[in-house]
Amino acid sequence: MTHPTLMPQTEILRTEALAKRYRRRWALHDCTLSVPEGAVVGLVGPNGAGKSTLLQLIVGLLTPTSGSVRVLGGVPDEVMRSGRVGFVAQDAPTYAGLTVAEHLGLGAGLNPHRWDAAAAAERIDRLGLPLKQRAGALSGGQRAQLALTIALAKRPDLLVLDEPVASLDPLARRAFLDETAAAATATGTAVVLSTHLVADLAHICTHVVVLAGGRVRLASAIADICSSPADLDRIVLAELAAAHTEGGPA
Amino acid sequence: MIRLALRQFRAPAWTAVAGLVALAAVLLATRPQLTAAAAAAHRACGDDTNCPALVTFVHSNSPLSTAIGLVVLVVPALVGAFWGAPLVAREFEAGTHKLVWTQSVSRTRWLAVKLAVAGTAAVVLTGLVSVLVTWWAEPLDEAAAAVYATFDQRDVVPMAYALFAFTAGMTLGLVTRRTLPAMAMALGGLLAVRIVVTQWVRPLIAAPEQTTFALDPDHTGYGSGGNILLGIPKAALQPPPPDLPDAWIRSTAIVDGAGRPLTDDVLHAACPGLDQGGGGGPAGPVPADVAQRMHDCVAKIGETYHQAVSYQPGDRYWMFQWWELGVFAALSVLLCAYAFRRLHRHGG
């Protein structure tokens, strides 16, 4: 297995022996990673691999059982308060009773020092999201775009996306990933996103992390391990198959 | 953050306003009639507080006053179940806590603002309901002269119950992360704490006063009262209720000068044939000879025994109101402290 670090230049994220246990089950075990500035990291693995747990530890929604996380040089709670990290949770939760415009107002109110209202309005306009539409009446893809807009309007240095495209149709998924890649390229924002689909990784990611059974199986720059999407697919599947054969820790 | 909390609270607030307006309309429409009937009863009775016209006035308005009193009792429960329980639990269920907790505002401030907005509304709503009902029931309460009978439906304590129910619902929602169980537990919790405070805490606030009454041979009967569910006690002498307007009667007993209670042996020795009245049949006029025997019996017992009454006087009403407000407010503060601590340490 490749050594689980991503050859740091300037680190934007670092985990050291990070672990999380839910009652008697370890969801994440001995996770050591380093993410360089500007990287677009794809976190891939089967259900229950620990992807969401890792991402929620990074954004401070969960506290580690052991080990440590450093995000942008600080602890997650403080960094989140600075507004330098944008996060879109799985299924892109939004308030069903609030309109698109009210969500933008919410974002501005919750991030008074780092809110780019003009960029948010421009993005919503470009995506054609009706401002007066309640979030509950938006399609899954539109809701994901709304959540991404709130995350991007903070002008984050790190964007964390937890399976943002899992419930989207192929067109909406491609549109979301393209938007994310464009935003990351334009601002130099680092991205960590989790996904089931290796094709997504090949599409926008510069780095890959394979998680299985709560352990990091592979962490590498994509360019260092393969030259084509098909190679990446083969390598990832081989790691997952190996993890499955070994059984992995419970 | 305040704007979000206000926006989220808009629908419940409008529902509460609609309910309040409906209640106010009923109270405003029925109060003039109540005032006029009270004035007529007072004119007929003069200074006699036990006058039948006053009793009739209170009894004839009993169904309406009971229904309106029930509204005051139910509002805190509804506040706990429908405002408190979903406050945080619904965020967990919808996943929206992940949206707000990953912004620049701390989750402590997030909860504080939500609590301040909805908690203030809960207290104000219940306060307004209580003020309206207390004002509406003034003629009835004055005629009934039983302030403790409606203690939990008047003045400041309903606000304390609402605050407690709200914070209990919120805390249970935070712990269970599910709205329905939190609603059920908030209702059960409010009921349990209300019973504990009424039965065991309130009596500790001030020692009851003691007084005695001579047994009244004309109005003292013999028998037992109760119901088949809670059990019917043994038959005994039944003096009339002590004439202590607005008092909260804690206990009554027939005792001798040394404080020894009247026993069955003493009673039956003084009044042979006391149990021979039959009983169990339909109520009807007492035959004159039976009434005379009862009169003689009570007069004989009354030479040695009297009625001892333990009670809280009516002038302690406000002291009990403020104490109960304090007890429920303190419990609410403890619940909030636990909720903030849990949110800070475990993220809920």
Mean pLDDT of chain B: 90
- Across the A:B interface, residue pairs with CB atoms under 8 Å apart total 74
Under the banding of pLDDT at 50, 70 and 90, the label for residue B276 is: low
Q: Is the pLDDT of residue A8 over 50?
A: no
Site from B1, B2, B10, B99 to mutate, A interface, most A CB atoms within 10 angstroms: B99
Tell whether B178 and B227 lie within a shared domain: no
Q: Is the pLDDT of residue A204 over 50?
A: yes
Q: What residue spans define the domains of chain A? A: 11-246
Whether A107 and B103 lie within 8 Å, measured CB to CB: yes
Greater model confidence, B115 or A188: B115
Q: Is the pLDDT of residue A12 over 80?
A: yes
Tell whether B122 and B158 lie within a shared domain: yes
CA dist., res. A99 & res. B320, Å (int): 48
For the domain made up of A11-246, the CATH class stated in words is: alpha beta
Half-sphere exposure of residue A37, counting CA atoms within 13 Å on the CB side? 8
Is the Cβ–Cβ distance between A14 and A41 less than 8 Å? no
Is the Cβ–Cβ distance between A216 and A33 less than 8 Å? yes
- pLDDT tens-place string over residues B58-117: 988 989 999 999 999 999 999 999 999 999 999 999 999 999 999 998 899 999 999 999
Share of chain A above pLDDT 90, in %: 49
Whether B347 and A59 lie within 8 Å, measured CB to CB: no
Joined together, the tokens standing for residue B201 give: 């805490």
Whether A61 and B100 lie within 8 Å, measured CB to CB: no
The reply to whether B280 falls in a domain is: no
To the nearest whole Å, the CA of A63 is away from the closest chain B CA by: 7
- Sheet with A11-22: strands ordered across: A25-36, A11-22, A66-71
The reply to whether B121 falls in a domain is: yes
Tell whether B170 and B217 lie within a shared domain: no
CA-CA distances (angstroms) from residue B147 to A217, A241, B118, B143? 74, 77, 31, 10
Residues of B in contact with A100 (CB under 8 A): none
Tell whether B213 and B199 lie within a shared domain: no
Lowest pLDDT segment from A101-115, B163-177, B222-236: B222-236
Joined together, the tokens standing for residue B226 give: 């109760």
Q: Is the pLDDT of residue A5 over 60?
A: no
The reply to whether B334 falls in a domain is: yes
Whether A147 and B99 lie within 8 Å, measured CB to CB: yes
| pLDDT at A112 (0 to 100) | 87
| pLDDT at A3 (0 to 100) | 44
Number of domains in chain B: 2
CA dist., res. B1 & res. A107, Å (int): 9
Tell whether B153 and B232 lie within a shared domain: no
Range of B259's domain? 209-274+286-312
Whether A87 and B102 lie within 8 Å, measured CB to CB: yes
Mean pLDDT of chain A: 87
Whether A110 and B106 lie within 8 Å, measured CB to CB: no
Nearest Cα to Cα of residue A207 among A57, A1, A34: A34
Whether A82 and B95 lie within 8 Å, measured CB to CB: no
Exposed/middle/buried for residue B329 (C-beta within 10 Å: 0-12, 13-18, 19+): middle
Mean pLDDT in residue range B278-301: 74
Whether A109 and B1 lie within 8 Å, measured CB to CB: yes
Question: φ, ψ for residue A215 (rounded to 5)?
Answer: -120, 150
Nearest to A63 among B101, B106, B347 (CB): B347
Tell whether B215 and B332 lie within a shared domain: no
Tell whether B330 and B200 lie within a shared domain: yes
Greater model confidence, B287 or B145: B145
Residues of A in contact with B98 (CB under 8 A): 56, 61, 87, 89, 93
Q: Which of A202-216, B270-284, B301-315 has the highest mean pLDDT?
A: B301-315
To the nearest whole Å, the CA of B180 is away from the closest chain A CA by: 19
Note whether A176 contacts B: Cβ–Cβ < 8 A.
no
| pLDDT at A71 (0 to 100) | 94
- Sheet with B305-312: strands ordered across: B209-214, B305-312, B248-256
Tell whether B244 and B148 lie within a shared domain: no
Tell whether B226 and B182 lie within a shared domain: no
Note whether A63 contacts B: Cβ–Cβ < 8 A.
yes
CB atoms within 10 A of CB A197: 16
Whether A61 and B102 lie within 8 Å, measured CB to CB: yes
To the nearest whole Å, the CA of B177 is away from the closest chain A CA by: 15
Lowest pLDDT segment from A58-67, B219-228, B293-302: B219-228
The reply to whether B281 falls in a domain is: no
Nearest Cα to Cα of residue A95 among B137, B96, B269, B235: B96
CA dist., res. A55 & res. A161, Å (int): 8
Whether A111 and B104 lie within 8 Å, measured CB to CB: yes
Nearest to B99 among A56, A83, A89 (CB): A89
Place of tokens 């008697």: A24
Residues of B in contact with A106 (CB under 8 A): 3-4, 100
Tell whether B133 and B40 lie within a shared domain: yes
Is the Cβ–Cβ distance between B245 and B49 less than 8 Å? yes
CA dist., res. B187 & res. B193, Å (int): 10
- pLDDT tens-place string over residues B115-124: 999 999 999 9
The reply to whether B279 falls in a domain is: no
To the nearest whole Å, the CA of A220 is away from the closest chain B CA by: 28
Share of chain B above pLDDT 70, in %: 94
Residue type, B194: R
Tell whether B16 and B152 lie within a shared domain: yes
Tell whether B120 and B8 lie within a shared domain: yes
Rounded to 5, what percent of chain B is helix, strand, coil? 70, 10, 20
Nearest Cα to Cα of residue A59 among A79, A33, A30, A37: A79
Residues of B in contact with A105 (CB under 8 A): 3
Note whether A170 contacts B: Cβ–Cβ < 8 A.
no
Mean pLDDT in residue range B210-222: 88
Whether A109 and B102 lie within 8 Å, measured CB to CB: no
Note whether A110 contacts B: Cβ–Cβ < 8 A.
yes
| pLDDT at B42 (0 to 100) | 87
| pLDDT at B237 (0 to 100) | 84
Is the Cβ–Cβ distance between B323 and B257 less than 8 Å? no
Question: φ, ψ for residue B212 (rounded to 5)?
Answer: -130, 150
CA dist., res. B194 & res. B157, Å (int): 11
Whether B1 and A147 lie within 8 Å, measured CB to CB: no
